[in-house]
Structure 1
Amino acid sequence: MLSEFLKGNTTFLNQVSSWEESIKRASQPLIEKAYIDSDYVDAMIENVNINGSYIVIVPEIAMPHAETDKGVNKTSMSFMKLNESVMFPDDREVKLLFVLAATDSTTHLELLSDLSSILIEEEIKAKLKSAENEEEVIKVIEMVEE
């Protein structure tokens, strides 16, 4: 399921200027397809401003998300890999971002759970960090989904 969401929704950048920009850039494929509105991006940034870096779920990996009623038009997910870490609040370094957007809270929790279970595996994290293109990212996710 996760691999299907990522097709056509991955970004690879050398660096970004701020954690806010990282969320904006990681969200761009979903905005371009009208899966989410800019309100959703603003809500994800606001969540970090209010709650801190709780979205950094494991070292170097963040899962930006917001409430389902904040501008989600279609359940979707995007991925962004940075070559150079960006610092989130509380000195949390991030290189990989998975933007989650769900139209309802049940699906939202399922996406969070599925992704979290994948990202606890060191081998998977290492492969995602070394991925050079979308095809490699999707292959890694598909390995775990089988």
Structure 2
Amino acid sequence: MLGHYLEDTIELMDSVATWEESIKVAAEPLLNNGNIDESYIEDMISNVHKFGPYIVIVPGFAMPHAQNNGGVNKNGVSLLKLENPVFYPEDKEVNIVMVLAATDSDGHLDLISDLSAVLADEDIKKSLENAKSKDEILSIIKTAE
């Protein structure tokens, strides 16, 4: 399921200037596809300002998300892979930013289950960190599902 959502929403970049920019860039495919609107991006950034870097779920990996206050039109996931890490609050280094947008609190449980399978396997996580293309990232995730 995760691979299906990511088919057209993976971006690769050398770097971004700030963690806020990493969330904006990572969310852009979902914004362009109509999954979310600007308010959802602002909600995700606001949550980190309020609650700290709780979205850095394992070293090197952030999963920005927020409650749907009207900013999510349909479920979606996007991924930004950075060649050079960006630092989130508390000096948490992140290379992979995966935005999760769900219309309701149940809508993302299957996605989180798939994501957990990916992140629980250190070899798969390393493969993602070393991936050099969108197709390679997609292949790794589909294999892990």
Q: Deviations over 1:81-125 (max 9, x none)?
A: 001110000110000011000111112233223212321211111
1:23 paired residue number? 23
Runs of 5+ consecutive residues of structure 2 not aligned to the other structure:
none
1:108 paired residue number? 108
Structure 2 Cα separation of the partners of residues 63 and 47 of structure 1: 12
Q: What TM-score does the superposition give when structure 2 sets the normalisation length? A: 0.96
Q: What TM-score does the superposition give when structure 1 sets the normalisation length? A: 0.95
- CA shift, 1:70, in A, is 4.2
Structure 2 counterparts to residues 67-146 of structure 1, below 5 A? 67-145=67-145
Counterparts in 2 of 1:69 and 1:113: CA distance versus 1, 3 Å: farther
- Cα RMSD of the aligned pairs, angstroms, is 1.0
Runs of 5+ consecutive residues of structure 1 not aligned to the other structure:
none
1:62 paired residue number? 62
- CA shift, 1:45, in A, is 0.2
Q: How many residues align?
A: 145
Structure 1 segments (4+ residues) deviating >4 Å: none
Task: Give the partner amino acid of 1:140.
Answer: I
- CA shift, 1:78, in A, is 0.2
Matched residue SS, 2:108 = helix
Task: Give the partner amino acid of 1:47.
Answer: N
